[in-house]
Structure 1
């Protein structure tokens, strides 16, 4: 391994672990706030689709991989994702156990609609692995996931335990952290081979940052979903950036007209109906 490659990996890992998406306010609240099982049900129902489609990113990159070394790393990760390291249960099955322990029916309802935050995240990653150069895709599903997830889940797991979940019920999260340590080691081997030029390293980094930007938007969406479930009549939360005074005035005026709120509700319902179901979004990844 060259000194340049070693420094690149070290600096990229530090950059990922310090990224705002990996240290999102919502994750900090999971770590420190007394969230209930119902809060984690909303969390999980938004997160579940991401788990169900992750292997489709790897499968697509496996087809596009330019060398046998690249295929080897992707194949190793896929074996774990398919259940090799979890007694034959793939990760979506493990996550289904967690959701059922929250009282959710989503794992047993393939016709349920994919939540908006998850749909946007999935579409962005499918765009990356299908349309961007291979190394951008590797950066997204490699360091953008494998070096980010352990730190994010380290914030989630204490909150799950505080909410009263058993170790068996949160096995998906604890197992995923352990597996991603192994995946990260394999990833370093792959990056040594592929990050041997400045241009290659730039592509890998770009993919990681694209993934993390999508992750940050996803966590903001999940946070809004939890707030909406907790306080359905609460004042509208800010978006990514705080609203201006004029925007606040316009929203207040809008909310004061029942017919406009009813129109907005119908529009939201229409958008929900237009979103794909979980089974449809999984099937799309196989095409």
Structure 2
């Protein structure tokens, strides 16, 4: 019987499965992001794009829009009110940094050093933030009144009463003090969370080495929360550059345009003069400046991380 020399046929190895593509792998994630993207596009990105387009038009809802090129930008750059508002806004931002920016940092550090009643101190510091704006404005108008409680204390110690609302030297300072009292509670919570995340072993080691309170704050606390300080600094600069409601509600830009801010000029162009093209041009200039600030902050944070 002859022996078979046929070579058995070897079955080919199964083809490896192709890895799912990036889009298929994250399809459900993109699906959940879709509503947020639609909302942001409809209510944020689309208005920004339309505002840039409108800045080159004279907007007329009856006769139709007319392309005017750079005329809106030339008009607002020659407007004395715009120049005054830019100066006032820079002054307002500077006062916000000098008066209000360090308040939540100091309170957060002080509360973190407390041995008792920390919870009560946190609640008490945050309470002004929940006061409605209508109540807030009425309260501080009463406090700043020429015969109000603050001036009553000032006259009792033998000084002249201060005209907080009508004196040019005090009007913007008064607004910053009021806003600092009302809004520092939200930043305080962020700083408290940052301070609480610092390892307690560092403080205990510093106390064993004989470091005092100020040495612990300077060498441990402040370096540990510097990223939060830089972030909230940028957020405060953006918020103060866009603020107008306090100036509008308390003094309407007065006295004699002393509290007239850039955002308030935009509101006047849009809703008082109904010059929507120039108002859009003002908004585009603000958008460019704030974008530049954000880019600078982003580069600084990346450089520090590197």
Q: Give the TM-score range, shorter chain.
A: under 0.3
Q: Which has the larger radius of gyration?
A: 2
TM-score (normalizing by structure 1): 0.26
Higher normalized contact order (CA 8 Å, seq sep 6+, divided by chain length) = 1
